[in-house]
Structures are given as structure tokens and as C-alpha cells.
């Protein structure tokens, strides 16, 4: 990875954080898939609402809209993140450590 891309690397995630994030994968994926197929379309507001509905604390969510996609990151109890994106093609949800820049999601434009 080029040195100017190091900010995207993820730190190691503590075991407690991996477990907490792993427990959220199924409900978050189901809630976000409902947003993806909704006739209302994919929006940051809908993604954030679905994350909260799935059990995520709203204050822990980072997200933004980009070209019809909504990338998101959520700080989880125990350390680290649940992160991914909702796109017209599908939903991606993963667990991992914080990025080197801090937080769970690279800033838009990075």
C-alpha cells in the first residue's frame, strides 16, 4: 500500500470488539438490505435509521452519500468497527479495527 494510503489501513481489533461487531452483522445486513430494495431508494438518512433499528447507537455512526452509495462505519462496544456500504448492487457489512486516521470510515474525498 502506498504511504499516502496508510490512513485506510485498519488497526488490530480487540477480541471483545470483534465479538460485539459479529453479533450485529446479521441484523444490520437484514435492515440494510430492506433499505436497498425499498422503493424509497438508498439514502444516508435511510441507512442511518436502519442501523439504529438494528441495534446500533446513533451517536456511533459515521456515514455519507457518494454517487448513489452510502458507506458507513459504526464504533462498537469493546473497540473497533462494523463497516461497509449499501449500493444498488448489494449490502456489504464487515468487522475490523479503527482506521489509522481514527474512526471507522475514511473521510469523503480520501
List, for residues 4-23, the tens digit of each pLDDT value: 666 677 878 878 988 999 99
Does the predicted TM-score (pTM) go above 0.85?
yes
Overall average pLDDT of the 66-90 stretch: 95
Name beta bridge partners: 90: 87
% of the chain with per-residue pLDDT over 70: 91
Residue given cell 470488539 in the structure block: 17
Q: Is residue 30 part of a domain?
A: yes
% of the chain with per-residue pLDDT over 90: 71
Q: Is residue 66 part of a domain?
A: yes
Range of the domain at 82: 11-96
**In the chain, how many domains are there?**
1
> Is residue 72 within 8 Å of 43, Cβ to Cβ?
no
In which band, very low, low, confident or very high, does the pLDDT at 101 lie, cut at 50, 70 and 90? confident
Amino acid at each position: 500500500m502506498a504511504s499516502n494510503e496508510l490512513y485506510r489501513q485498519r488497526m488490530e481489533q480487540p477480541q471483545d470488539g470483534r465479538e460485539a461487531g459479529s453479533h450485529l452483522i446479521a441484523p444490520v445486513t437484514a435492515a440494510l438490505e430492506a433499505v436497498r430494495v425499498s422503493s424509497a431508494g438508498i439514502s444516508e438518512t435511510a441507512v442511518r435509521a436502519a442501523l439504529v433499528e438494528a441495534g446500533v447507537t446513533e451517536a456511533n455512526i459515521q456515514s455519507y452519500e457518494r454517487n448513489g452509495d452510502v458507506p458507513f462505519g459504526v464504533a462498537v462496544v469493546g473497540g473497533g468497527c462494523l463497516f461497509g456500504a449499501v449500493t444498488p448492487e448489494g449490502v456489504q457489512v464487515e468487522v475490523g479495527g479503527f482506521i489509522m486516521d481514527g474512526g471507522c470510515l475514511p473521510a469523503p474525498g480520501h
